[in-house]
Structure 1
Amino acid sequence: MGKKVTKAIFPVAGLGTRFLPATKSVPKEIMTLVDRPLVQYAIDEARAAGIKEFIFVTSRGKGALEDYFDHSPVLEQELRSKGKTELLEILKNTNMDSGAIAYIRQHKALGLGHAVWCARRLIGDEPFAVMLPDDVIAADKPCLQQMVEAYNETGGNMVAAMEVSPDRVSSYGVLDVADDQGEMVKIRGMVEKPKPKDAPSNLAVIGRYILSPNVLRNLNQLKSGSGGEIQLTDAIAAELTQGNDVYGYRFKGQRFDCGSKSGFLQATVSFGLARADLRDDLHGYLQDIMSVDKTAQ
């Protein structure tokens, strides 16, 4: 049994230009999905997987994201004086203990691999998770928890994977499969954003990773790859050439790409319908607009 995964890196340095003008003043990661910021879903998932140290790779203008995890004494006192214990309980989940959370600045947008590399000194020589808050995954058992349990059996490196339609492969890192065991896939290679005709499969990498500290050493050696950025995919693929295992893990759950407007809207509807306090109103409203839409046609 190797070392436990207790550290996670959250790359949140992006400008979120797809969500302008909102992201002019609000970091995309704290835009709300129903009533919780995107990043809270990632934090909750990490906690469920046993993560104890949370490392955020940020950039200028992300102060509101850092403030979000601080205690808010005035707000807490106000809620306490009004006896609003349920809201106090909700706030408790947003607070981080002193020392549990660290912020590292990425000064230039040089890609996901570079963002992970920025956190190397805080990771040291132990396995770690990487979570992209844009990928929100609705699942009975949180996705990273599923992966940590599988990783405890396999070791090596592991990436979350899902089938995408062949015409969408050029938006993803894609797995070259050596041995497909269903839930677990042993891979022989990874290709970043291939053209559909060049894709080795339609099994795409999604924003959850459990990685060996070797990957950080590989990032040290890398020159810029696809799109002039330092690609995490390349550093993971280098593990294969060094004789180390890399697995794809087909997680159980539904993934929403909240880096896109349509994905964010779909997630809002889906998470809204999953909430007992919102379901009936929202469902009724959706039925109404669908019937109006059909009549109009």
Structure 2
Amino acid sequence: MILETKRPSLSNLETRLNQVKYWMTDLDQTSWDRSGTFSSVNPTLPWLFLDLSLRQDVALGVCTSRSPKSVAKIEQDMITIGIGGFTRDQHPIFSGPSIYSDGHQIGVPNGSGVSFEILTSPEALKEMGRLKDDIKSRWQIAGDSKLRAGKYGFIEGLSAPIQVADEDIKETGVFKIMVKGPLANIDYPDYQTTLTHMIKIAEETGIRHIGFMLTANGDIIAVEKFADGHLRSKRDGLLVLEKRGLINLSKIGYFGDAENDLEIALEIKSNGGLIFTVANGIPELKEIADYVTPQPESTGVAHILRWA
């Protein structure tokens, strides 16, 4: 990829990079590669993350669709396989203000680590529980041994195998359904068909406080829907952190790659923060980014953080 000439070089951003006090990164297909295994992550990135997390002048957090439990597993992989000599209990990598479950949960630094708080309303949580029970009652385990081993099954009206997330809704703030299919291709027909079917089921059961979004991984997430019709997003989590004085939007350096990063990126950029996207980022993010890395995923993030 060739960077557009209208974009400043990274060296010309050095002054603004020095002003960043809060680094926030998306994970899947950004700083955590699409294979979901540590072996594919740029080997320098855990060290760069560790360096940031140990510094007193900056904070490192995540902004992700994943739950804190899922992020903790990634942290532990980075520490035990990539860094060594640490445990997550001794030193969490992502110890700064953070956003989980696409804005339905936040992480707040507490001196010794991070405290987690669900933002989803009780009404939405109740409806998510109802919907999960409804879908599980329709779900049948797959006959194919490989699908069955992956805990995939089927519901009537859909040809795509799906997996209903085991995570407790009250611990994540969302309800997730995984669809069997290719990563990083949200236009895959089975993803779109399953999304439409879930919306239909919700309408049939009188769901009013939740809507649905499709992640870059093909996961369908039931999310809170506000009275004005908009769905809770990463931006909503960010604004909660800002309102509580936990973060300054003008001093954020944000990494993202997908559609669910666009709204929060626009909010940060409009308030003077820095936006970075990787080579595999969507065109809309590349258009507003202060810098687009020539490399994809974790190698692109490492390229930036060497300057941090």
TM-score normalised by the chain length of structure 2: 0.29
Query: What is the TM-score when the length of structure 1 is the normalising length?
Result: 0.30
Structure with a larger share of its residues in strand: 1
